[in-house]
A and B are shown apart, each in its own frame.
Chain A
Amino acid sequence: MNASVDLAPIVALVGNPNCGKTALFNALTGSRQKVANYPGVTVEKKLGRLSTPGGRAIQLLDLPGTYSLRARSPDEEVTRDAVLGKLANETPPDLIVCVGDSTNLRLALRLVLELKHVGRPVMLALNMMDIAKKRGIEIDLERLAGELGVPVVSSVAVRRGGTEQLLAELDRRLADLPEATAADWTAPDASALRGAQREADRVLKAAVRMPAAPDVATSRADRILLHPVAGLVILLALLFVMFQAVFAWAKPAMDAIQFCFDWLGDFVGSLPMPDLMQSFLKDGVIAGVGSVIVFLPQILILFFFILVLEDLGYMARAAFLMDKIMGGAGLHGRAFIPLLSSFACAIPGIMATRVIDDRRDRLTTILVAPLMTCSARIPVYTLIISAFIPDREVWGFVGLQGLVMFGLYATGIVGALAVSFVIKRLFWRSAIGEPFMLELPDYKLPQAKSLAVGLWTRAMIFLKRAGTTILSMMILIWALASFPLPPEGATGPAINYSIAAMLGHALQPVMAPLGFNWQINVALIPGMAAREVAVGSLGTIYSISGGKEAAEQIGHALAGQWSLATALALLAWYVFAPQCASTLAVIRRETGGWKFMWITFGYMLALAYVAALIVYQTAAALGAG
């Protein structure tokens, strides 16, 4: 991971957003990539390895896309500091390759002019040369190199052999690298930018002949896809399909994974070994790992859609269409897809917030994503609703149970919008008007290899990073529910003698105003592992055998034990409570630190408590206590 011990030269890829830089990076390095975080920031560091035809090993660094070195976001700060060699503990790049979209070179040329001032060798790779040729764009490479004063090569990231020229040039350049000179780059003011853009326009005019008409396919597609009404309808339809896919297509794979882990658990359960050991392996490790991996199908399907839409160039358009609607709640247009995915599960949703460039917009989205009603809440909701809410119709046609379910979903959405509104207005007031400005790239067909590499990288990140944190939390929760062991001859369920039970009793004074008894408090603790686990735990605590299939019996038992007010308060609690260790672990991972994990935990807990308190006290006052 530490680049400073690796002696292979470092080549940094820099370029405008949407220039095909990541596709080029994937084409050059394949799966030989490492994704880490730059220390202290949430920015991803993507480093890959490759060998040139000349046998030279190279470390390739994919830096965040930018229009200039004037950093406006943490991502762009990394790019600036990396090319200037100012990143602590990072070896500065030996060579900078500026990647430009051959069909849209104007802004890339200005960036090249800026990069010439960082004191390191620079070259320009003209990407997507095939598309440019097809459209009749003629680029005089020699003239361009002469005018810019840097070597220029063409590349086609998406075609086999399309990177030959670039690799050959890398070989040639790295064989005889000039010494880095002192950087004379300073943040340009408006007049410097004007001057640089005029110079870039002059170079462009001298070396590139554009056809009269812009890309016909893109403008035709946009006439429909960006139509104020039709565009929104198509976006919603697309999102509906996506949502369905995450929910439905993932189901067989998730069931299969669940089945495997259940089988593995039963297998371990049948082996002769000490009870404690067995419980640790079965309920701690296997159940813990299983509860993480079961989300993988959803994550892969969601990221498949996101990567396709991103590569296609549609994501920026979705943000364009949703900007006004989301903006009302203080959310960025791009927050729409992550929030929608969070209805399936907050984990892929939070991981999907990577499509939001602005750090504050992204953090706001991460903070509210867990309020969206995820699928793990459904077992808890259905259990309590079917046990306590009468199955009858209101207003003649609406089922009361369904109405309560809808109300729970709506409460989550309203809660999320309200929280994001408060965050924006109260805490990040200075950022109120953060403008919406982004390029709408021409549509391009996504490439299978780049997609596969992208999905593979996401899957690995999820399994490795979140897996370790989540697993350790699962084991902690198992330990809380298992120790100390029940005394000899104990009759009640083992959990009743554990630290979890002690905590349940200790929490009693605090939770009593919500109408929660100690049994509920205890069930909430293993319910931290995953929300639906609380259902099984309630069964265990009320000594109901039969496991998951016994939900109906649990419902009957609960109906006899709890008041309606308690049941409603528990529903309100579940809308808001941070009852999911996996989500918290992913927040920690995605925000690069504990701070936002604790903020999420704290504010959700506070909301849950207040909501349950209001519901219980109101219901009790109305005679449902």
Chain B
Amino acid sequence: MADSSTLALGTARVGFRGRILALDMTRAHGAGLPASELERRLLELGFVEGAEVELLHQGLFRGDPIAVRVAAATIALRRREAMAIMVSPR
């Protein structure tokens, strides 16, 4: 996980493809939810370790929010919350 290629999904660019390594709530500063709640919501939308992700689209202003393909679903979320999702490129 300390691999140098590891990054937070919140910093990834459009077109990024990879796999979820871990959910790290300490990285989602300023997220609107307590860590345990944010983690559970991400899990409920399918952001589980091992899942394949692809960053498909981003908004006009500061590239926010982002649309992420997780397995067969597309989820929209803000980069602030996506900072908690640690991914490694494929």
Closest to A193 in B: B43
Residue pair B31, A435 in contact (C-beta under 8 Å): yes
Residues of chain B touching chain A, judged by Cβ–Cβ distance below 8 Å, are: 23, 30-33, 36, 38-46, 48-51, 56-62, 64-65, 67, 69, 71-78, 80-81
Residue pair A103, B72 in contact (C-beta under 8 Å): yes
Task: Give 10 nearest A-B pairs by CB, closest first.
Answer: A433-B32, A228-B60, A193-B43, A226-B57, A440-B74, A67-B44, A324-B61, A437-B77, A197-B48, A320-B76
Q: Shortest distance in angstroms between B77's beta carbon and chain A's nearest beta carbon?
A: 5
Q: Which of B36, B38, B75 contacts A439 (CB 8 A)?
A: B75
Given A68-B44, A324-B65 in contact, is the A438-B60 Cβ separation under 8 Å? no
Q: How large is the interface on A (under 10, 10 to 19, 20 to 34, 35 or more residues)?
A: 35 or more
Closest to B41 in A: A437
Residue pair B36, A433 in contact (C-beta under 8 Å): no
Known: A67-B45, A441-B74. 12 other contacts (CB 8 A): A190-B23, A193-B43, A198-B50, A201-B51, A218-B74, A228-B59, A228-B60, A320-B57, A323-B64, A323-B65, A324-B64, A437-B76
Q: Mark A219-241, 1 if CB is under 8 A from B, else 0.
A: 10010001111001000000000
Q: Mark A189-208, 1 if CB is under 8 A from B, else 0.
A: 11001100110010000000
Residue pair B61, A325 in contact (C-beta under 8 Å): yes
Contacts of B30 in A (CB 8 A): 433
Q: Shortest distance in angstroms between A311's beta carbon and chain B's nearest beta carbon?
A: 17
* Between-chain CB contacts (< 8 Å), 8 pairs: A105-B72, A106-B46, A190-B36, A222-B67, A320-B57, A323-B64, A433-B80, A435-B32
Given A229-B60, A433-B30 in contact, is the A104-B75 Cβ separation under 8 Å? no
Q: Shortest distance in angstroms between B76's beta carbon and chain A's nearest beta carbon?
A: 5
CA distance A226 to B56 in the complex (A): 9
Residue pair B71, A436 in contact (C-beta under 8 Å): no
Q: Which of A103, A193, A229, A433 contacts B44 (CB 8 A)?
A: A193
Residue pair A436, B76 in contact (C-beta under 8 Å): yes
Q: Which of A197, A316, A319, A323 contacts B43 (CB 8 A)?
A: A197
Contacts of A103 in B (CB 8 A): 72
Residue pair B48, A436 in contact (C-beta under 8 Å): no
Given A229-B60, A320-B59 in contact, is the A104-B73 Cβ separation under 8 Å? yes
CA distance A441 to B72 in the complex (A): 10
Interface residue? A321 (CB, 8 A): yes
Interface residue? A214 (CB, 8 A): yes
Q: Which of B38, B60, B69, B77 contacts A214 (CB 8 A)?
A: B69
Closest to A107 in B: B46
Q: Mark A28-67, 1 if CB is under 8 A from B, else 0.
A: 0000000000000000000000000000000000000001
Residue pair A440, B33 in contact (C-beta under 8 Å): no
Contacts of A438 in B (CB 8 A): 75-76
Q: Which of B56, B58, B75 contacts A228 (CB 8 A)?
A: B58
Q: Which of A67, A110, A210, A435 contacts B38 (CB 8 A)?
A: A435
Q: Shortest distance in angstroms between B43's beta carbon and chain A's nearest beta carbon?
A: 4
Residue pair B73, A70 in contact (C-beta under 8 Å): no
CA distance A609 to B69 in the complex (A): 51
Interface residue? A434 (CB, 8 A): yes
Residue pair A107, B64 in contact (C-beta under 8 Å): no
Closest to A226 in B: B57
CA distance A193 to B39 in the complex (A): 10
Residue pair B60, A197 in contact (C-beta under 8 Å): no
Residue pair A434, B32 in contact (C-beta under 8 Å): yes
Q: Shortest distance in angstroms between A72's beta carbon and chain B's nearest beta carbon?
A: 7
Contacts of A198 in B (CB 8 A): 48, 50
Contacts of B75 in A (CB 8 A): 437-440
Which of B30, B31, B45 has the most C-beta atoms of chain A within 10 angstroms of its own C-beta?
A: B45
Interface residue? A431 (CB, 8 A): yes
Residue pair A214, B40 in contact (C-beta under 8 Å): no
Contacts of A426 in B (CB 8 A): none
Interface residue? A432 (CB, 8 A): yes
Closest to A232 in B: B60
Given A106-B71, A437-B81, A439-B74 in contact, is the A70-B40 Cβ separation under 8 Å? yes
Residue pair B40, A190 in contact (C-beta under 8 Å): yes
Contacts of A437 in B (CB 8 A): 41-42, 45, 75-78, 81
Contacts of A325 in B (CB 8 A): 61
CA distance A316 to B48 in the complex (A): 23
Closest to A313 in B: B74
Contacts of A67 in B (CB 8 A): 44-45
Closest to B38 in A: A435
Residue pair B60, A190 in contact (C-beta under 8 Å): no
Contacts of B80 in A (CB 8 A): 433, 435
Residue pair B43, A439 in contact (C-beta under 8 Å): no
CA distance A106 to B46 in the complex (A): 8
Residue pair B59, A321 in contact (C-beta under 8 Å): yes
Q: Shortest distance in angstroms between A485's beta carbon and chain B's nearest beta carbon?
A: 60
Which of B39, B46, B81 has the most C-beta atoms of chain A within 10 angstroms of its own C-beta?
A: B46
CA distance A193 to B65 in the complex (A): 25
Given A190-B39, A324-B59, A433-B33 in contact, is the A214-B48 Cβ separation under 8 Å? no
> A420-437: which residues lie under 8 A (CB-CB) from chain B?
431-437
Contacts of B44 in A (CB 8 A): 67-68, 70, 107, 110, 193
Q: Shortest distance in angstroms between A135's beta carbon and chain B's nearest beta carbon?
A: 10
CA distance A105 to B40 in the complex (A): 19
Residue pair B40, A436 in contact (C-beta under 8 Å): no
Contacts of A107 in B (CB 8 A): 44-46, 73
CA distance A189 to B35 in the complex (A): 12
CA distance A68 to B41 in the complex (A): 9
Q: Shortest distance in angstroms between A12's beta carbon and chain B's nearest beta carbon?
A: 20
